[in-house]
Amino acid sequence: MTILVTGGAGFIGANFVLDWLAGSDEPVVNLDKLTYAGNPETLASLQGDKRHIFVQGDIGDAALVTRLLAEHQPRAVLNFAAESHVDRSIHGPGDFIETNIMGTFRLLESVRGFWMGLADAPKADFRFLHVSTDEVYGSLSKDDPAFAETNRYEPNSPYSASKAASDHLVRAWHHTYGLPVLTTNCSNNYGPFHFPEKLIPLMIVNALAGKPLPVYGDGMQIRDWLYVKDHCSAIRTVLKGGRLGETYNVGGWNEKPNIEIVQTVCKLLDELRPKADGSSYASQITYVTDRPGHDRRYAIDARKLEKELGWKPAETFDTGIRKTVAWYLANPEWVAHVQSGAYRDWVQKQYAGDAQ
């Protein structure tokens, strides 16, 4: 038995691979294109582990995917591969259209061809699990109920629009061709190995470097925060028991405004790595011009997943954020190695000269 994971060197995908192999001897074929956010160093602990077969390649490379499927005969394909940063999608939407829409389409077609050729028993057991985002549902006002699986899609950024399109393709391949699919839509993930362009790792890294902590607008954008290892456990749960063709929302039941997240990170750093002069890292908080089309609030209603499959997050935000800050403090080499020239250029482009 084997599973094929796409995007398994990215933040969520790599955490999933590490988590899977920590609790199972079932091998993983890990296909990742290794774009800027794909980091094989995250998987360094698996070097020499025969259960982990890493392949650098694109989900849109039909010949490669078809060969891997034929060679390894996986019982499931889990699709984490995606361009996922909203700001990058605003500045350059083309990569998001190509990877998230066309890449998913080509992957689905390769998987469909493989699945149709299986014998009856493995064909019945096969699963294609597509990992998506709550951003496909659009934005909520302060008093709106949280996103349920029945909410209509209202994506507001090139990123969320491309993910919405990929979700629709997965649904269509199930209803049209019978492909046995499952879809998960998760809230904001955080935790170890998070690329430092996203809010929490960016704040940690900038704080320690004595740099400004850039907060968009008034900082009152609300997100539901999900510890990445809880997300991994939810995906395993859905893969094992989810109903075919169904969507499951995965959330952490932790709605927090961005400014509160930043302040919490600062307080933890004040405790765990205090400044020599005794001042708070919060003094580095700087408000910058809000990004275009910035959704005000996301919130996930994960009751379906709990009711049908018995899943709940194991971490509260307090326990998860403490583990996250401690991990970054303990792993400065990982952080330093991902801060390539391309990363520095991006942060400069996004935030330079924008302080208020």
pLDDT at position 342: 59
Nearest to 158 by CA among 292, 254, 349, 27: 292
Find out whether 257 and 334 touch, Cβ atoms under 8 Å: no
**d(Cα 34, Cα 39) in Å, to the nearest integer?**
7
| Residues designated catalytic | 134-135, 159
In a domain, 49, yes or no: yes
Nearest to 166 by CA among 94, 82, 242: 82
Spell out the residues 6+ positions from residue 293 whose beta carbon is closer than 8 angstroms to its own. 90, 156, 157
Tell me the longest C-alpha to C-alpha distance in the chain: 68
In a domain, 344, yes or no: no
DSSP 183-213: EEEE-EEESTT--TTSHHHHHHHHHHTT--E
| Predicted confidence (pLDDT) per residue in 337-351, tens digit | 888 655 456 556 654
Strand pairing class (52-56; 188-190): unpaired
pLDDT at position 350: 56
Query: Percentage of the chain surpassing pLDDT 70?
Result: 95
pLDDT at position 330: 98
- Full domain range(s) for residue 139: 3-189+228-251+293-314
Rounded to 5°, the CA angle 180-182-185 comes to 160
Structure tokens at 252: 């952490």
Low-confidence ranges of the chain (pLDDT < 50): 343, 351, 353-356
| pTM of the shown model | 0.92
Give the total number of structural domains in the chain: 1
Dihedral of CA atoms 333, 258, 293, 89 in degrees, nearest 10, equals: 10
Structure tokens at 38: 């794909």
pLDDT at position 345: 63
Amino acid at site 221: Q
Backbone angles phi, psi at 254, to 5 degrees: -135, 80
pLDDT at position 36: 76
Q: What is the CATH number of the domain that holds 77?
A: 3.40.50.720
Find out whether 243 and 308 touch, Cβ atoms under 8 Å: yes
Owner of token pair 């005794």 = 278
DSSP 8-state assignment for residue 98: I
pLDDT at position 53: 98
In a domain, 337, yes or no: no
In a domain, 265, yes or no: no
In a domain, 140, yes or no: yes
In a domain, 242, yes or no: yes
Find out whether 103 and 59 touch, Cβ atoms under 8 Å: yes
Find out whether 36 and 109 touch, Cβ atoms under 8 Å: no
In a domain, 339, yes or no: no
